[in-house]
Amino acid sequence: MIMTRHPRLRAPAVMAIGGSVIAAAVVIGQGWAAAVPVEVVTIAAAIGYYVLGGRGGDLGAIIGHRTDERQESIRVRARSLAAQVAGLAALAGYVIELARGSAVWPFELFVAVLAGSFLAGLVIYRTRGAGPDGAHEQRSQTIS
């Protein structure tokens, strides 16, 4: 995780770095011309995220990493939903590619990583004795 002194910069920074890595891969595979739109979209998305992160309300707090415990639980649940949908999408892709007789290893890898990280999460958070919001709860206790 990227740690910054300005939490609002965290999500845009991750987005900018991730997008730039993808753009670099596009440069290698398809050349500069194909990579430019990827980088433009990345920069636009990072700026958009930065702007959203400065707004009030739950969405701004979550994107800007200024959450309280309720907003943190919303974030955790949203991430859980996203992971479930990603898993289902990978499963659907796996079945479709299997039926088409194409290479299925990327889907197998994705599902294996997803299942492995779920099991790792069970082991880690079972022994930690905190809720899904454990780290945040510790922070809250420090405040009081």
Partner 1 sequence: MSQREVAAALGVSRQTVIAIENGRYSPSLPLAFRIAQFFGSTVDAMFDASEEVRT
- Site of tokens 């890595």: 21
Among 6, 55, 70, 128, binds partner 1 (CB under 8 A): 70
For residue 94, which of 111, 78, 118, 74 has the smallest C-alpha distance? 111
Q: Answer yes or no whether residue 61 interacts with partner 1 by CB under 8 A.
A: yes
Q: Answer yes or no whether residue 141 interacts with partner 1 by CB under 8 A.
A: yes
Piece in contact with partner 1 (CB under 8 A), picked from 88-96, 98-106, 120-128, 136-144: 136-144
d(C-alpha 88, C-alpha 97), whole Å: 14
Q: Answer yes or no whether residue 42 interacts with partner 1 by CB under 8 A.
A: no
- Please report how close the Cβ of residue 123 comes to partner 1 at its closest, in angstroms: 24
CB 87 within 8 A of CB 93: no
Piece in contact with partner 1 (CB under 8 A), picked from 4-12, 27-35, 95-103, 135-143: 135-143
Among 14, 52, 58, 132, binds partner 1 (CB under 8 A): 58
Rounded to 10 deg, the angle between the 105-128 and 69-100 helix axes is 150
Q: Answer yes or no whether residue 80 interacts with partner 1 by CB under 8 A.
A: no
- Measured between alpha carbons, how far is residue 37 from residues 16, 28, 33, 42 in Å? 13, 15, 8, 8
At residue 9, the 3 state secondary structure works out as: helix
Determine the length of the chain.
Answer: 144
Q: Answer yes or no whether residue 133 interacts with partner 1 by CB under 8 A.
A: yes
Q: Which residues form the interface with partner 1 (CB under 8 A)? A: 57-58, 61, 68-71, 131, 133, 137, 140-141, 143-144
